[in-house]
Amino acid sequence: MKTMTCKQLGGACEQTFSAATFEEMAGLSKEHGKEMFKKNDAAHLEAMRAMQLLMETPMPCKIGLKKKKQAFDALPED
């Protein structure tokens, strides 16, 4: 298991997530984002807007995702 924060994954807070794989980590982050969207959390909504802009262009999106996966892979096991 490895641990990352919402902020490390492109979000807006220090909430932590623990997962065995990057894909699982991304899923936890996505669920957290949905919760914050429902709460209309301003900081998370701004982070989501920034992420949406990044996703509009495939190459920067792939590079950003690759960097987050590399950061996950480089983390020590909990």
CB 40 within 8 A of CB 27: no
Q: What is the pLDDT of residues 2-56, one digit of tens each?
A: 999 999 999 999 999 999 999 999 999 999 999 999 999 999 999 999 988 877 8
Beta strands per DSSP E along 1-78: 2-5, 16-19
Q: What is the pLDDT of residue 74?
A: 95
Q: Alpha-carbon distance 24 to 15, whole Å?
A: 16
- pTM of structure: 0.87
Token pair, residue 47, equals 């982070």
The residues with which 16 forms a beta bridge, in sequence order, are 5
Domain ranges of the chain: 2-74
Q: Is the Cβ–Cβ distance between 43 and 12 less than 8 Å?
A: yes
| Nearest residue to 8 via CA among 34, 62, 18 | 18
48-65 confidence digits (pLDDT tens): 999 888 778 877 778 888
